């Protein structure tokens, strides 16, 4: 049995509600003969007489009233489906999922999303703060619309765009012997000194290791591994040991920068998203803001 067309079911429900094929046809904006033909087509498909046609008018048969009741429920479910799909479409159009590594999340991303929200006050934005490796994984898995990382290179499987350049600096507390050195540290001195470091997967840790390897002295020796830039900074202030942190985190006189000879600790800060996908909507707007206003 072939299912009746939805328009024919709507017509049948209207005949039941209005008690007239003519009024039902007028409500739908079709001619009465066309309405009669649609009802006849439904009767043939179902093998039932649904409409009792007399000179005094038309009314649904007992079978017709049963079918009209079922049709009403089918149409109500369809309307619910369409309303739900529209709600989902609207929610996706007005939502932006962002992930950012900690340096970016603390210093740069808030300004970008603040400007985006001022331009789009109804935008719902969620920001997840984690290390660069996890941001890349979230972007690859499609769990965020755009991510911001501080890795030395573009993570595999992702497209990227440079949004800023950051510089890392070696820092110590004011009483540390390095503050009295008359010459810069050598790469070997830094590599041989246990440091307070971020965890593996952090863009800061990866950048420091890559810079020291390039200088031919190998990766850092961890004294203490911590999970956030603020924790590293506080450990240095407390005298735990030296660290290499973003220059953005050197905000007062409690930390003293120490020069290192011949080591480039600069790094590119990048926006990332799945390779082969074109950014659109709020994600594209956020990227445009980040590129135009890097700090």
Number of domains forming the structure of the chain: 2
pLDDT at residue 29 tops 90: no
pLDDT at residue 47 tops 90: no
Q: How far apart are CA 118 and CA 232, in angstroms?
A: 33
For residue range 80-103, list pLDDT tens digits in order: 887 776 655 555 556 899 999 999
Instruction: Specify the pLDDT at position 295.
Output: 53
Could you tell me if residue 295 is inside a domain?
A: no
For residue range 107-163, list pLDDT tens digits in order: 999 999 999 989 888 888 899 999 999 999 999 999 999 999 998 789 999 999 999
Parallel/antiparallel/unpaired status of strands 158-173 and 266-274: antiparallel
Parallel/antiparallel/unpaired status of strands 194-198 and 158-173: unpaired
Residue 64 and residue 113 in one domain: no
Residue 245 and residue 135 in one domain: yes
Could you tell me if residue 13 is inside a domain?
A: yes
Write phi, then psi, for 30 (nearest 5 degrees). -125, 160
- Closest by Cα among 268, 292, 273 to 116: 292
Instruction: Specify the pLDDT at position 83.
Output: 72
Q: How far apart are CA 144 and CA 125, in angstroms?
A: 11
The Cα-based distances of 102 to 39, 127, 161, 289 in angstroms read 65, 11, 18, 19
Q: Which runs of E-coded beta strand occur in the chain?
A: 51-54, 57-60, 95-100, 124-129, 146-149, 158-173, 194-198, 221-226, 243-246, 255-258, 266-274
Residue 123 and residue 75 in one domain: no
**Positive or negative: CA dihedral 200, 203, 205, 209:** positive
Q: Is the pTM of this model over 0.75?
A: no
CATH of the domain at 60: 1.10.10.10
How is residue 177 annotated by DSSP? G
98 alpha carbon, distance to own chain's centre: 4
Rg (CA), the chain: 33
Could you tell me if residue 130 is inside a domain?
A: yes
Residue 82 and residue 115 in one domain: no
CATH of the domain at 116: 3.40.190.290
Residue 59 and residue 128 in one domain: no
Write phi, then psi, for 279 (nearest 5 degrees). -70, 135
Q: What is the span of the domain harbouring residue 17?
A: 6-91
């Amino acid at each position: 049995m072939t299912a009746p067309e939805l328009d024919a079911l709507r017509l049948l429900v209207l005949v039941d509600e209005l008690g007239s094929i003519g009024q039902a046809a007028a409500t739908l904006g079709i001619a009465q003969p066309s309405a009669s033909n649609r009802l006849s087509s439904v009767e043939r498909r179902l093998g039932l007489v649904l409409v009792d046609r007399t000179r005094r008018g038309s009314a649904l048969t007992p079978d017709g009233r049963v079918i009209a009741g079922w049709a009403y429920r089918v149409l109500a479910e369809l309307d619910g489906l369409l309303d739900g799909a529209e709600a989902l479409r609207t929610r996706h159009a007005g939502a932006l999922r962002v992930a950012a590594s900690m340096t970016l999340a603390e210093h740069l991303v808030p300004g970008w999303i603040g400007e985006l929200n001022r331009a789009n006050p109804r935008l719902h934005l969620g920001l997840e703060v984690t290390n660069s490796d996890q941001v890349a994984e979230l972007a690859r898995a499609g769990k965020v619309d755009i991510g911001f990382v501080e890795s030395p290179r573009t993570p595999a499987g992702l497209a990227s765009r440079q949004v800023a350049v950051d510089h890392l600096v070696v820092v110590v507390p004011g009483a540390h012997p390095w503050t009295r050195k008359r010459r810069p540290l050598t790469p070997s001195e830094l590599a041989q000194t246990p440091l307070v470091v971020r965890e593996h997967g952090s863009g800061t840790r990866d950048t420091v290791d890559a810079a020291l390897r390039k200088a031919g002295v190998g990766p850092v020796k961890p004294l203490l591994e911590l999970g956030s830039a603020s924790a590293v900074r506080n450990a240095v202030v407390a005298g735990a040991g030296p660290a290499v942190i973003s220059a953005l985190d050197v905000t007062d006189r409690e930390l003293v920068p120490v020069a290192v000879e011949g080591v480039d600790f600069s790094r590119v800060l990048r926006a990332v998203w799945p390779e082969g996908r074109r950014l659109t909507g709020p994600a594209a707007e956020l990227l445009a803001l980040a590129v135009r206003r890097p700090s």
